[in-house]
Amino acid sequence: MKAASGTVDLAGWRFRLARDTNHPAGERSEELIALAYAVAGGRAGRPLRRSRHASSFRSVVGTGQTPNAEVFIKLIDPPRGAARLKAMIRGSSAEHAVQATQQLNAAGFAAPPVLLYGREASSGRELLLMPIVHGDGPFKALEKTLGYKRAMLRALGAEIARLHRAGFIHGDLTPYNMFVARGEPPRFIFVDHERTRLAFFAGRRRRQLRNLVQLGRFDLPGLSRTDRMRVLRGYAASLNGSSWRSLRRRAAAMLERRIRRDGLERARRT
């Protein structure tokens, strides 16, 4: 198996090594490809979680006397129904994630680099392989001191505002797709960028509010209504004097519609 060219065809999969990364695991190209193929075939990796459209795993690259590097693997389901038509228009989700991550890093945002990505020709499944993020998830971050929690929530709102000012819209800004880097002041790492993009001016404001709704619709232990308002305050304060009350009303209205729609979908499934 030769990976020097950056592209490897292996039993129906085409794997590509991402460029411009200095992560230690990126130097082990053949090991990365072998691991990716094993995970895709269900022979390696420790399952993390299952979302609507993908499965996530974690594993280790490096054996024997070679220092180990822990990595994250995302196996993306083939698109079906209307999503298949969108995929034909938008192109590869994995390739888009590589591009979006590079754009975010260039703009000064923390996002783990894609080390390797691939696609299975017969099924349309795709795979992304990245370093494991070293930071706290939303549950652990909320368990810290009250002062830290409040500062973290305001800083999160300000960071999302900075993301939007730079023109980015996160594709799925849920609490599960963000980490808080260890240490102070709070710094944030955003993951899951298959649908993150630079937004056109038309409809940008609604997409920005949608990001805030994506964060707010989750019921996290230790997160009160007042805490949610702290995120909105931090966001509005970073947007050149925007009224946080107006923002709160618009975001709350969108959130109410989303919760109602989620309830109808659950009722149809039962």
- Domains of the chain (ranges; CATH) run 7-131 (3.30.200), 138-269 (1.10.510.10)
Return the exposure string of 36-62: e unless at least 16 CB atoms fall within 10 Å of the residue's CB, then b.
Answer: bbebbeeebbeeeeeeeebbbbebbbe
Residue 15 one-letter amino acid = F
Sheet of 7-10: strand order equals: 7-10, 13-17, 116-120, 126-131, 69-76, 54-61, 46-50
Q: From the CB of residue 149, how many other CB atoms can be counted at a distance below 10 Å?
A: 18
Element (H, E) at 212: helix 204-216
User: What is the Cα–Cα distance from 30 to 2, expressed in whole angstroms?
Assistant: 7
pLDDT for 245 equals 67
pLDDT for 107 equals 96
User: What is the Cα–Cα distance from 54 to 191, expressed in whole angstroms?
Assistant: 14
Tokens coding 192: 């899951």
Interval 54-76: pLDDT, tens: 999 999 886 555 567 889 999 99
In the chain, what is the straight-line distance between the N-terminal and C-terminal CA atoms, in Å? Answer: 49
Q: Mean pLDDT per 10-residue run, the chain (270 residues)?
A: 70 85 66 91 87 89 67 91 68 92 95 94 94 84 86 92 93 90 86 90 80 79 82 83 67 75 75
pLDDT for 261 equals 79
pLDDT for 2 equals 52
Please give the DSSP secondary-structure letter assigned to residue 239.
S
pLDDT for 53 equals 87
pLDDT for 87 equals 65
The pTM score is 0.84
pLDDT for 85 equals 65
pLDDT for 5 equals 57
- The torsion region of residue 260 among left (phi > 0), alpha (psi -120 to 50) and beta comes to alpha
